[in-house]
Every structure is written in structure tokens, then in C-alpha cells.
Amino acid sequence: MYHFEYREAPKGLRPTRGDFARIARYLLPAWRPSVLILGCILVTSLLGLIPPLLIREIIDRAIPEQDSALLGWLVAGMIGAPLISGLIGVWMNYLVTVMSQGVMFDLRNEMYGKLLRQSLRFFTNIKSGEILSRIQNDVGGVQGVVSGTLVSLATNALVVVTTLVVLFRMDWRLSLIAVGVLPLFILPTRRVGQIRSRLSSQTQERLAEMTSTIQETLSVSGFLLSRLFGAQAHEGKRFREKAGAVRDLQIRQSMAGRWFLMWLLMFASIGPALIYLFGGYETIAGRITVGTIVAFVTYLGRLYGPASALVNVHVDIMSAVALFRRIFEYLDLPVEVADPQNPVRLTRPRGELRFEDVWMGYEEGRWTLEGVTFAALPGEMVALVGPSGAGKTTLTYLASRLYDPGRGRVTFDGVDLRALALDDLSRYTAKVTQETTLFHASVEENLRYAKPDATPAELERACRLAQIQEVIENLPQGLATLVGERGYKLSGGEKQRLAIARVVLRDPRLLILDEATSSLDSRSEALIQQALVPLLEGRTSLVIAHRLSTILRADLILVMDRGRIVERGVHAELLARGGLYARLYDQQFGRAVVST
């Protein structure tokens, strides 16, 4: 049966010449297979013209002339033509798939590479699932554009043109009738198609709502929330409503399709009926042969299907342009924190960090850091303290160049971070945070992430220094044990010590440390403190400090409030001053602790 469907073009989209040129640039490096594919389409559409001509010969010559040899040859031709055409089709399908997968492979890699170079800002601002959808669905859609849109367009256009040429050569008056019936297909296709398209986009919206409800509620955090608040019945009801809306819309959509099909079946029989009527008169009058009428009607099938499919072509092209635009949007993302063109190389960094009148804002018109100036000299420990939201984390982001300052500069060994190669920067600086990310891989692979060529002795030393060696030895497969999302579940403290071992391996000059606020028991906490001792030794460090021992050890304490450094000095000085530090100190530790 013919496949008719009319879809609405994406709204407000105007493809430009630039769009087409750029899409062609991506598809055209594969010009050789394109030419081969086009050749295949041409040959198969010509082969498709043969069987009706053979039918005409059977009816007009072989049967009346009782020539069984000719009959045999003609029938063999009727089988042979589609067979060859089918074989070519298989080969063409291979070519099309290889070509489109090649284009997708390039696009995926380019997009992934681009995303890897994006800044932290990009990832904090993007909706979850958005990136996945672009790489999976949009790039995945390219296959459809190549094998669906482009190949169908060429096939349908060639089939329609070649069929029309043959029809008009056979009998131009019958051909006019055949073409006259075409609007009967096209008009209802458009009308009913519009209705289906509206229903379909509503269904998509409802489906998306249903999916997001599933994602929200059937996850660890969602489950905990609904379970602990006893909200399961309520969630069940909410889901039923959403699923019900999807059901109703899909029933309506399917019924619109049914009515549509009924009309099409009717129109599909009108064409042949008219040909038999007028052709019949002509045959009676002896002007054309019976074989011609039968061949003619057989050709109609080849004409109506592809002609109706061409009604949709502009929609397909617009959808393809929209798809490529979404892909290009990602490929064109500016790289905010970019590698410098000619980076300054540091041979033996001393590890001096300076902030020089640094201003930084996450959003336009609102500063999160204001005029921050300080120096962490080689080997010194600088502690950051201050109320929640003061900008401590933000300051550490700037020290690792996760963001660039809006004004002022951050330097490492006197060189602006923006002039250092990002690779170098990450080699010389390392960060240990409260949340530790482990990949789903073995303990060893997780450790080697910091130093791929580490020797077994180095690995062991790092693990011992980080107080994690014993834990690893007791794991089911030692260093080869899988950890991470679906692997062996290490405790929070163990994970953190593993992260410390990773940093020990890396041996940075500058260490950025976000001390754990709570959540660890005292033994675990003590182990971490022990693990940190060798790590901090001889290195410059910037620590978001929550522990008294750290604060007491610091060479410089920076007290931050609302993005500014409001006090600075060592513990005793700051305490004596009786300002914000003294107040914070009282709240957190109480004077009694100090005096003991």
C-alpha cells in the first residue's frame, strides 16, 4: 500500500543558503559513494519500468500469437528485473548506511571534543539530559536525513519523472487523466496530515511529561522522597493522569489515520477505474491495445505513491535543517576557558599563587568576588573562612582556572593562568573536594587517571600515604576491584582517601582542598587528616577550612564575606581583633575549646 502522511514543517524556520552549504560540506566529503548511490537509484528506477512493458507484450503479442517461447522469456524478464533491482537495493543500502554512519561518526567526535573543552559554566547551566539528547538523538537523526530524506527524495523524484515519461509516450490522453487524479491524493493528504501532526505534537508533549515524571520519581532520590513522605498513592494518581492523556491522544491519532486510509483506498481505485473507462472506449474503437491499458494501470501504482511522498519533501528538508542547526549550535559553542595560542612553559614551578584585584561574576551585573588580592607563597598554606555563600568555592574555581576573572588576574609563578597551557595547569595544581568522583573502573585505573605511567611501587606508596592501602588489600580483587557507579561501594571516607592517593601520585605544586564539613565519623576523619599531612607538606595550598587544626596551621587566613576579603592574618591576630573571624570562631568552636 502507498504510504501517505503529511506533516507540518517546524514553525518559524527559514532555511538559508548558508545552512545548505554547511550541511553539504558535512555530507560532501563522501561524494564518491553519493555518486554511486545516485547511479543505483537511477538503475533501479529504470528497472522498475520494465515489468509493465513486459505485461503489455504478453497480452498483446505472446498470448494472441500463441508464442509460448516468447511468453517464457517475458515472464522470466518479469522475475529478473525486480531480482536485479533488489540486489542493487541491498548494495545501495550498504553504501547509504556506511556513508551516513561515517558522517555521524565525525559529527559525534567533533561534538564530544567540543563539549570536553567547555567551561564549568556551560555544564552548570545546561538542563540535564540536554547534552545526551543532542549527541544521541540529533546526531542519530542524521542517518534518517541521509537514508530517509535524501535517498527518498532522489528515488521518488526519479520514479515519478521516468514513469511520467513512459506514460506520456504510451498515450498522452490517458496520461492526462492519470495526472488529473493526483490532486485527489494530495489535498486530503495535506488536510488529514495537518490534524495528525497536531495530535502527534500534543502526544509528544504528553509523552515527555510522562517520561519526566518517571525519571523524577523512579530514581534513588525520588523514591526516597515519595517513600519517606508516604506519597506513593499521590504519585500513582499523578502518573495515571499523565498516562491517561497519552492513551486518549494516541487513540485519536490512530483513528484520524484510519479514516484517512479509507479515503485514500477509495481514491486509489478511482484512477484505475477512469483509465479502464476511457481506455476501454479507445480499445473498443480499436485505437489502443488491451495490453496498453493493463500496463498503464500497473504504472499508476508507481506514480501515486512517490508523487504523494513528494508532498512531504519540504517538511522533511525543514526538519533536516532544524536537526543540523541544533547540531551546529553545539559545534559553534564558544570556548570560554580556552588554551592560549602560544602558552608559556614552566620548567620547574615553585608553586606561587597570586590573586591581583580579581573580580568575578556568574551573571551579568552581579559580582560574586570583588577586588580579591592575596598571595600564597611557595609552600605556604592559605586558609579561606567565611559564612556560607561568601565566595570561597568560587575563589578556588578561579585558582584552577575553571572560570576566568572578569577583571584583574590570577597568576601561577608570576604567569597569568590564561597564558599557561591547560595541561600544564592541571599537572601543577590539584584539587581534593568533599565529593569524590570515581569512574566505573578498577581501583588501579582510577589511580592511574592521575599518572598513567605510575609504577606498582609508586601506586603502593601513594596508597600507603593516603591511608587506603589496607582497605584496598581487603577488597575482593585488590587493585583490580571495580569501583564507581555500578561497582564496589566504597564509603565516603574511603573514596576521599582514594582521591588523596590520586593527588599524591600526581604530585602537584599547588593543592586546593575543600575540607569536609561533616558526614564522616571521627575515625574516618582522623584517617583523612593523616592522609593529608604528606600531601600538604612542601606544597602551596589553598584550603577552604572547617577544622580548627587547619586554621591554626595556616600561614595566612583570609576571612571572606559577600565576595570580599574582609580580614586577613593569622589566628591569634584575627581573634584579637574581635571582628567577623572572632564571631565565626565563637559560633563554630567556642572559646572554651581553645583555652583547653
CB of 544 to ligand ATP, least distance (A): 7
CB of 545 to ligand ATP, least distance (A): 11
CA distances in angstroms from 460 to 128, 385, 436, 501, 524, listed in the order given = 38, 34, 20, 9, 20
Determine the straight-line distance between the first and last CA of the chain, rounded to whole angstroms: 91
CB of 496 to ligand ATP, least distance (A): 17
Number of residues that bind ligand ATP (CB under 6 A): 12
CB of 515 to ligand ATP, least distance (A): 11
CB of 401 to ligand ATP, least distance (A): 16
State whether residue 374 is helix, strand or coil: strand
- 362 vs 449 by CB, closer to ligand ATP: 362
Q: Which three cell numbers stand for residue 405?
A: 576573572
CB of 124 to ligand ATP, least distance (A): 4
User: Cα(250)–Cα(401) distance, rounded to whole angstroms?
Assistant: 51
- 332 vs 363 by CB, closer to ligand ATP: 363
- 464 vs 562 by CB, closer to ligand ATP: 562
- Half-sphere exposure at residue 552, Cβ-oriented, CA atoms within 13 angstroms: 6
CB of 386 to ligand ATP, least distance (A): 6
User: Cα(151)–Cα(419) distance, rounded to whole angstroms?
Assistant: 49
CB of 118 to ligand ATP, least distance (A): 14
CB of 517 to ligand ATP, least distance (A): 8
Residue position matching grid coordinates 553504501: 95
- 354 vs 562 by CB, closer to ligand ATP: 562
CB of 225 to ligand ATP, least distance (A): 23
- 363 vs 537 by CB, closer to ligand ATP: 363
CB of 330 to ligand ATP, least distance (A): 20
Taking residues 388 to 407 in sequence order and writing x for each that binds ligand ATP by CB under 6 A, - otherwise, the string is xxxxxxx-------------
Which among 59, 51, 49 is positioned nearest to 292, based on CA atoms?
A: 59
User: Cα(68)–Cα(62) distance, rounded to whole angstroms?
Assistant: 7
DSSP 400-464: TTSS--SEEEEEETTEEGGGB-HHHHHHHEEEE-SS----SEEHHHHHHTT-TT--HHHHHHHHH
- 398 vs 490 by CB, closer to ligand ATP: 398
Q: What is the CB neighbour count within 10 angstroms for residue 338?
A: 12
Strands (E), 131-261: none
Q: In what order do the strands lie in the sheet with 429-432?
A: 429-432, 510-514, 540-544, 381-385, 556-561, 564-569
Please choose, out of 382-390, 457-465, 474-482, 579-587, the segment that lies near ligand ATP by the rule CB under 6 A: 382-390
Which among 198, 141, 169 is positioned nearest to 56, based on CA atoms?
A: 169
Please choose, out of 222-230, 313-321, 386-394, 471-479, the segment that lies near ligand ATP by the rule CB under 6 A: 386-394
**Which 66-125 positions form the footprint of ligand ATP (CB under 6 A)?**
124
- 394 vs 446 by CB, closer to ligand ATP: 394
Taking residues 409 to 428 in sequence order and writing x for each that binds ligand ATP by CB under 6 A, - otherwise, the string is --------------------
Please choose, out of 308-316, 381-389, 406-414, 528-536, the segment that lies near ligand ATP by the rule CB under 6 A: 381-389
Taking residues 206 to 245 in sequence order and writing x for each that binds ligand ATP by CB under 6 A, - otherwise, the string is ----------------------------------------
User: Cα(555)–Cα(382) distance, rounded to whole angstroms?
Assistant: 6
Taking residues 333 to 372 in sequence order and writing x for each that binds ligand ATP by CB under 6 A, - otherwise, the string is -----------------------------xx----x----
User: Cα(217)–Cα(268) distance, rounded to whole angstroms?
Assistant: 49
User: Cα(473)–Cα(493) distance, rounded to whole angstroms?
Assistant: 16
Please choose, out of 61-69, 106-114, 384-392, 528-536, the segment that lies near ligand ATP by the rule CB under 6 A: 384-392
- 129 vs 389 by CB, closer to ligand ATP: 389
- 394 vs 400 by CB, closer to ligand ATP: 394
- 189 vs 496 by CB, closer to ligand ATP: 496
CB of 370 to ligand ATP, least distance (A): 11
- 168 vs 362 by CB, closer to ligand ATP: 362
Residue position matching grid coordinates 527559514: 14
Is 374 within 8 Å of 390 (Cβ atoms)? Answer: no
User: Cα(313)–Cα(149) distance, rounded to whole angstroms?
Assistant: 8
- 77 vs 361 by CB, closer to ligand ATP: 361
Is 157 within 8 Å of 282 (Cβ atoms)? Answer: no
Is 93 within 8 Å of 314 (Cβ atoms)? Answer: no
Which positions lie near ligand ATP, rule CB under 6 A? 124, 362-363, 368, 386, 388-394
